[in-house]
Structure formats: C-alpha cells, structure tokens
C-alpha cells in the first residue's frame, strides 16, 4: 500500500517537516534506509544515520534536536518507537486476510465454528470443540476434542492443542507450539522402573496471550496449568504441569519452568533461565538470563546467577570473582613469605 507523509502525520497526530506528498510503500531500519521506505529514530545513538539515511520518511521524537542537514521528510511525535509500532499495526491490518474453509480439512459435526473464521487445509477440529468468531486456524493445525478457542485468535501452522484445553480471545500461537501435552509425571517402582502418572488436567490460556514457535505447555496432573492474561512467551520455552503464570508476564527464549511453580504478574524471565518446581515468584520480579532459581523470590526483586540471588549482590560477587586469580596469586606469595620468615627465625 502507498502512504503519503501527510496521511501518516494525520494518523499519528504528528508534526510534519518536509514534503507532505512524499510516498512510502515499505519500512526499513534507519541505517539501512532506501527510497520509498519509512524509518524511525528513537535511540539517540542512531542519530548519525538521520543525516545519511536514504529513507523517504523518518519518525523522530519531538524533543530531538536536529543538528545537520536532513534529506528525508520528518514526522515529529511524542514517542517514535510507539508511533512506528502503531503504523506497523495499521499496515498489517490492511494486508489481505485469509477466510473460508480450505479442503481437505476436517471439522467434526458436533464442533461449533463462529462466523468469519479461516480453517486452513489439513486442519483438524475435534468433537465438541468450540471455535469463536474470526478465528484463524492455519494448515496442519490440530484442535482436539472439547477445545475452546476465543474470538480473533490465530493458530499458525502446525499448532497442536490437546483435548479439553482452552485458549482465550485475541491470542496468537505460533507454528509448532503444543498446548496440553502430558506433564512429566512418573512414579518409580521397586524395580527402579517408572510408571506413568495419568495427566488429567488441562491448560487454560487467557485473553491477549502471545506464544512463540515451538513452545510446549504441559497439561496439569489435576486442575489447570494457567497462562495469565496478556502474558508473552518467546520461542522454545517449556512450561511444565500445574504452573501458574500471572498477568502480563514475559518469558524469553529457552527458559524453562518446572511443575507447580507459581509466577506473579508483570514479571520478566530472561533467556535460558531455569526455575525448579514448587516455588513461588512474586509480582514484578525480573530474573536475569541463564539464572537458576531454586527458591522463592519476593515481589519487586531483580535476581541474577545460579543459584539466583539479588542482582546487586551478584554484581559485586562477579567483581570479586574476576579478581580471584590475582587474589590466589597474592595468597600464594603471602604463604611463601610466611614460610621463609619462619625458616629464617628457626635458623637464628
């Protein structure tokens, strides 16, 4: 689609500096800008590219002081990053939308499918499933018996939602993710073998949740594994059985949460962090990348390391850790000094 600078400025309620008839058809990074594209500048460290970019239109913050010649048309807004994001949302909403039911696909006669849905080829919708309005189910997706999907939710190719699970409205689940696979529950017998414990619960994903590709969220042994409203989960994350995650929590790639752990709202769990089972993480907690969490964490804390401890203490410990070789050398020198001194005293 073609957008003029005036159309964009009017939509964003921004201040236009330059040619209002400048047209863009694509977006680009400011450092990789080319004619006909829209870029944004939100981080001051990229300001130098404002004076060299070939982008046709650049969004900038109102408080940015321009200190050179600028070729692109500028649109000044309160927050360039948020403005750019809203433009991307507008652009995406104007892209062609999938609709209808492709064949071959299978929808059980007892399933209920709302209006305006898209069901892709080779998709499967099971017995007693309930699909809301304007849901998009892409090819090779499995929606099991009794599954409930809320309005406007998108299930990308290869998503698998096991029987009885529920996904709320306005959710996005990316390709290859599995919702409701069995929790890892086994009882060890006297013969040292393992007997499977039936996993009879479900997974509940509340509204406005986005789940990345190849994520696995296990069903509860009993009751429900819960993903709270507004939570965002990156690719390649493992959520075990009976975990509960509060509203608006963010979990980054390759993190893992063991069974029955409860995570509060507004938390951030960074990449490759691991949380043991049966612990409680309070609200507004930040857990750093590659942290190993083995105990409860109170609310409003920032933790790092393995085992994870308060970030301030961990940073000080890392400073000491870097100095350990030098400290070890000095201790060795001191021991030799004491030994030599004792030897000299003995010879007197």
The Cα–Cα gap between 154 and 156 comes to 6
Per-residue model confidence (pLDDT) at position 340: 83
Beta-carbon contacts of residue 14 (< 8 Å; ≥ 6 apart): 8, 59, 75, 76, 77, 83
Share of the chain above pLDDT 90, in %: 83
Per-residue model confidence (pLDDT) at position 192: 87
* Residue 1 banded pLDDT, cuts 50, 70, 90: low
Report the chain's mean pLDDT, rounded to a whole number: 95
Tokens of 167: 């996904």
* Residue 93 banded pLDDT, cuts 50, 70, 90: confident
Tokens of 311: 């970030």
Cβ proximity of 287 and 305 under 8 Å: no
Q: How far are the Cα atoms of 25, 42, 200, 334 from residue 22, in angstroms, in the given order?
A: 10, 21, 60, 74
* Residue 162 banded pLDDT, cuts 50, 70, 90: very high
Check pLDDT > 90 for residue 264. yes
Cβ proximity of 32 and 88 under 8 Å: no
Beta-carbon contacts of residue 256 (< 8 Å; ≥ 6 apart): 237, 238, 240, 273, 274, 275
Q: Largest Cα–Cα distance in the chain? A: 103
* Residue 190 banded pLDDT, cuts 50, 70, 90: confident
Beta-carbon contacts of residue 107 (< 8 Å; ≥ 6 apart): 101, 113, 119, 125
Tokens of 329: 């050398």
Catalytic residue list contains 241: yes
Q: From the candidates 140, 174, 241, 247, which is the catalytic residue?
A: 241
């Amino acid at each position: 689609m073609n957008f003029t600078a005036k159309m964009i400025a009017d939509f964003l309620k921004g201040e236009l500096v330059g040619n209002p008839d400048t047209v863009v058809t694509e977006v680009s990074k400011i450092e990789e800008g080319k004619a006909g594209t829209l870029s944004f500048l939100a981080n001051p460290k990229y300001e130098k590219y404002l004076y060299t970019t070939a982008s046709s239109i650049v969004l900038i913050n109102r408080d940015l002081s321009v200190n050179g010649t600028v070729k692109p048309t500028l649109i000044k807004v309160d927050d360039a990053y948020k403005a750019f994001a809203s433009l991307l949302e507008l652009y995406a909403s104007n892209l062609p939308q999938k609709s209808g039911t492709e064949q071959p696909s299978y929808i059980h006669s007892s399933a209920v499918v709302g209006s305006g849905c898209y069901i892709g080829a080779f998709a499967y919708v099971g017995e007693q499933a309930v699909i809301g309005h304007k849901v998009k189910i892409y090819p090779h997706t499995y929606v099991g018996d009794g599954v409930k999907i809320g309005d406007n939710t998108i299930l990308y190719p290869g998503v698998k939602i096991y029987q009885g699970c529920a996904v709320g409205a306005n959710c996005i689940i990316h390709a290859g993710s599995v919702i409701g696979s069995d929790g890892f529950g086994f009882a060890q017998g006297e013969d040292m073998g393992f007997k499977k414990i039936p996993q009879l619960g479900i997974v509940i994903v509340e509204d406005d949740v986005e789940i990345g590709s190849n994520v696995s969220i296990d069903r509860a042994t009993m009751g429900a594994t819960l993903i709270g409203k507004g939570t965002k989960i990156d690719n390649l994350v493992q959520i075990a059985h009976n975990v509960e995650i509060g509203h608006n929590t963010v979990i980054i790639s390759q993190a893992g949460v063991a069974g029955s752990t409860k995570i509060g709202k507004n938390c951030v769990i960074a990449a490759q962090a691991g949380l043991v089972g049966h612990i409680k993480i309070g609200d507004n907690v930040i857990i750093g990348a590659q942290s190993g969490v083995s105990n409860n964490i109170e609310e409003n804390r920032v933790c790092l390391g393995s085992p994870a401890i308060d970030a301030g203490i961990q940073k000080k410990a890392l400073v000491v850790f870097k100095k350990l070789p030098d400290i070890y050398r000095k201790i060795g020198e001191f021991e030799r000094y004491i030994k030599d001194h004792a030897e000299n005293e003995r010879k007197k």
